[in-house]
Amino acid sequence: MADRQAPAESTSIVPRVQLIDLLNEDLSREYQAIIAYVVYSQVLKGAQYMAIAGELEKHAKEELEHALIIAKQIDYLGGMPNVTSKAVKTSEDAEEMLRFDLDNENETVRNYRERVRQCEALGEYAMAEHIREILVQEQEHQIDLATALGKHVAEVTHPKERG
């Protein structure tokens, strides 16, 4: 019987039940993203934001696809997909809205990178692959938002934080 514990420092190794909880957190972030993009894409005003408003509308649809994929993985693991969104911030200010979106995408990317490692550690390679595909789109969302905010993409995708 394999009863050895994972080494304490390998934070990527989580039991299957904990993976369900983590995926439910991811699902809540996807719901949050859907709501934010539905609203922001319609209320962003100003000629300079017309192009990004169109992009946000596409993001909304992609986030719905992500939610469906994540819910499917939770069900596959024997969990129940949750029905609660993370809180959505609102603002009258266009730039602030975009910054909220970018902060959320950064958080999402951080989590999915970790989730890919966790799935692989459990031998869930197909699940890791699904999450990788989502990750590709989340990084595109980051780039769209960073560009709209006039930031260099590398500032966002390769932050000088954590080691």
Query: In sequence order, what are the residues at sequence separation of 6 or more whose Cβ sits closer than 8 angstroms to the Cβ of residue 43?
Result: 97
User: Which residue number has the CB closest to Fe ion?
Assistant: 66
Is 144 one of the binding residues for Fe ion (CB under 5 A)? no
Is 115 one of the binding residues for Fe ion (CB under 5 A)? no
Cβ distance to Fe ion smaller for residue 124 or 138:
138
Q: Among the candidate windows 6-14, 55-63, 80-88, 89-97, which touches Fe ion by CB under 5 A?
A: 55-63
Cβ distance to Fe ion smaller for residue 30 or 124:
30
Q: Among the candidate windows 20-28, 48-56, 63-71, 143-151, which touches Fe ion by CB under 5 A?
A: 63-71
Q: Cα–Cα distance between 160 and 163 in angstroms, integer?
A: 8
Collapsed DSSP state (helix, strand, coil) of residue 49: helix
The dihedrals phi and psi of 58, each to the nearest 5 degrees, come to -65, -40
| Best CA proximity match to 110, nearest among 70, 82, 71, 138 | 138
Binding residues (CB under 5 A) for Fe ion: these are 30, 63, 66, 138, 141
